[in-house]
Structure 1
């Protein structure tokens, strides 16, 4: 048996093992994302994550012991490959049951498999990696100073991953272009509840510990994965259309959240009418106390809210299940495809349900100076990915497209067709602009030039955008 000796530190670590070389080339350490060039890894595509987490919830910090079983398909002949992981210590790693040499440098974990499994690492073959790790998961400060990763809450913990925080609690290929199915098991102290994505599989208590198991069969980007641990009031039901609804609410905000939760089936039915069939088998919400998180997030199947959400915010995050969760951006530069569409969903809800035409919402957004700081398809830095233009001006792009089409039946068919064409996949801004022009048969280059990529506010919001 090969013994792997590991010396670990989060900043820069060398882990050595004596292994024969594996033919092939190293997978790239990073996918050259325009804003996070080191995020993600090349040479393989993850198809499934099996995460087994044992969390010791403590005041001020948690201790986590985890095992990640990662099933992936090689996209090149691999001699080694990388995983993204920050803060936590790797205890051991294996590939196809054989110990792998491990090298650690910051958030990059490089695995060099044993030569005995070389054949499993050739292009097109599927291989399984098991990483055992532990430590105190970190809260990550994002480029815009928001907090993500592993957050301590009033009575437990909350994992949020947009854009890079998921690497704070499990190793993986943490770029939105690599989506996978998930099985997540979370062991917590008895009396606490652990909620994750997808559908609940089982709950089992032994002694003073309880294991909650969750399964997400549809592909999910890692930034949409969540684990919420606390003393929740939970409820499971179904919409009239048969979609499972699972909600978890902090008891302190349960009363204030009741009206919003009651509207989930209504919002789901309305959104399906506008955007096409719901792309997942379950929906719901996780509602924390105010202050437990600084923002709402469209975590797949059940968005997270920092306190009882207003109807518009509920609509926004549920619309993300189509635009962002099912149709996921190819890179972080395509963020407006998430936020512009979800913001436009709010405008559509106001039009359909509150007698406020989208043109009224458009005019208000047009007058807001913050929406003209930069083009929505070209934020100047990673700190601007969640800036107002990505939301407000992104929604204006869609209103201008609706005006250019000048036929609501055709426009809403386009929205449904876009969600259908890239269901459970990734898409870029170029994909969308090409799709819109092909679908409408119109030259929309003027629209994209002015509203999607242009600098500054146009003098005339009603100037023609087609030729």
Structure 2
């Protein structure tokens, strides 16, 4: 949730039950020429053309970081285990700022140069398609946030006691070299060293900590695939709560003491929210869960994988929203930022369903209140399936009209089929990727209906639809 608080005839399809492989997606994203031996500077995303890189897939990141909040200095080493998806004489990584002191490919020094956010690496020997290789980058400096097209801060956002580290859509490159697009998902290990009076919280399972000479190293492991923008290394003075749910999910909550009293009643509901979402959407897709509640000035919350990140104590709807993203956005990821409604529309509709089933307004009442807004309202500023630019991907239409699209689908196919569609989407693409076209095919397959007009109207037609 990167948002402020305040077709024609029906096609016959065969439902795919296995996500498209990462290698196939990355090959499709890059140049098609058989003679190409250089990795692309981006994966071809229309809104963020330099995001990600072609020619390889990162299977694992090992991130070893040391941060001093007093000097704001970050020292890091990133070890990337990757596989070439085509013959490579060179390849790119995304890295903004920071000074590189060493770079090796398969433990041999490699040539490199910088062009904006691109770190262009030329290994000593070319990499053959299908070959595994290891890249190690040692670096340091003062990480600086980037400003997204909508004006919001992104990346390593400095706080008064550490850093609020939120990467959607492009901020991961401010603190580690990455193949920074949702197309490329990887496992992660983190070793984060901070002053002993601070905590450092990342994704996945907490492996423990060790203190020596006034500094503490926190270790984390994210085993399930994760896009780079969902990684975090948030640092601050936190109160820590750890427990395991009845379903065996390891929960780790880190709360800034200034937010603790306001956050406590909401965080107490996390196990029941996860249980409800698991019942509706299918089994929770990760081994760990939790929350990071900071005292920051970012202006938004983010669905950092396994451990959503809040810049202040969240309300219950925000908790429901960010944890729904663990299914929709984190486990089932985008192939292009244009399809962002698959993340935000789904998480917003999860709020509506939760309210409906917990004594609040029905989803129909929420829909009706939105539809009553005049044609001049910002809700109708652009269609959610085609936001038009990176500046719009976190706009109201993506969230609210995206959710309205799902409600129209629910009305068209009935509750039983609708919930089966949501569950099948989350389980069939678990750990992989989805597209709007694939979701439409699934909805038509499960319902046996031609839904082209519905999706065309609600996802792609400009202005306020004539009929609800």
TM-score, length-normalised on structure 1?
0.91
Whether 2:177 is the aligned partner of 1:185: answer no
Partner of residue 92, structure 2: 82
Counterparts of 2:285 and 2:370, CA distance in 1: 29
**1:153 aligned to which of 159, 162, 166:** 159
Whether 2:441 is the aligned partner of 1:431: answer no
Whether 2:404 is the aligned partner of 1:392: answer no
Shift of 1:355: 4.1
Alignment of 1:128-207 (within 5 A): 128-207=134-213
Counterparts of 1:114 and 1:295, CA distance in 2: 44
Whether 2:110 is the aligned partner of 1:104: answer no
Tell me which of the two structures has the higher relative contact order, counting C-alpha pairs closer than 8 angstroms and 6 or more residues apart: 2
* Contact in 1 for aligned 2:91/2:120 (Cα 8 Å): yes
Whether 2:355 is the aligned partner of 1:347: answer no
Which 4+ residue blocks in structure 1 deviate beyond 2 angstroms?
Answer: none
Query: SS of the residue aligned with 2:313?
Result: coil
Whether 2:297 is the aligned partner of 1:292: answer yes
Alignment of 1:15-164 (within 5 A): 25-58=37-70, 62-115=72-125, 118=126, 121-164=127-170
Counterparts of 1:411 and 1:191, CA distance in 2: 49
Whether 2:466 is the aligned partner of 1:459: answer yes
Say what the alpha-carbon RMSD is for the aligned residues. Answer: 1.1
* Contact in 1 for aligned 2:164/2:294 (Cα 8 Å): no
Shift of 1:308: 1.4
Runs (5+) with no aligned partner, structure 2: 1-34
* Contact in 2 for aligned 1:154/1:292 (Cα 8 Å): no
**1:310 aligned to which of 296, 310, 315:** 315
Shift of 1:154: 2.4
Shift of 1:393: 0.4
Alignment of 1:368-407 (within 5 A): 368=373, 369-406=377-414
Counterparts of 2:438 and 2:263, CA distance in 1: 38
Cα deviations by residue, 1:200-232 (Å, 9 ceiling, x for unpaired): 112011112111111000000010001111110
Partner of residue 25, structure 2: none
* Contact in 1 for aligned 2:152/2:298 (Cα 8 Å): no
**2:420 aligned to which of 410, 413, 432:** 413
Partner of residue 446, structure 1: 453
Whether 2:229 is the aligned partner of 1:217: answer no
Shift of 1:24: 6.7
TM-score, length-normalised on structure 2?
0.90
Query: SS of the residue aligned with 2:44?
Result: coil
Cα deviations by residue, 1:12-44 (Å, 9 ceiling, x for unpaired): xxxxxxxxxxx9711111111010011110000
* Contact in 2 for aligned 1:81/1:112 (Cα 8 Å): yes
* Contact in 2 for aligned 1:336/1:390 (Cα 8 Å): yes
Query: SS of the residue aligned with 1:452?
Result: helix
Whether 2:244 is the aligned partner of 1:232: answer no
Runs (5+) with no aligned partner, structure 1: 1-22, 462-467
Counterparts of 1:215 and 1:236, CA distance in 2: 16
Q: Aligned pairs, how many?
A: 431
Cα deviations by residue, 1:287-312 (Å, 9 ceiling, x for unpaired): 012x4321000000110112111111
**2:262 aligned to which of 256, 275, 293:** 256
Partner of residue 357, structure 1: 362
Query: SS of the residue aligned with 2:240?
Result: strand
Counterparts of 2:36 and 2:193, CA distance in 1: 39
Query: SS of the residue aligned with 2:208?
Result: strand
Whether 2:320 is the aligned partner of 1:320: answer no
Shift of 1:252: 1.1
Counterparts of 1:185 and 1:137, CA distance in 2: 18
Shift of 1:426: 1.1
Query: SS of the residue aligned with 1:449?
Result: helix
Shift of 1:159: 1.1
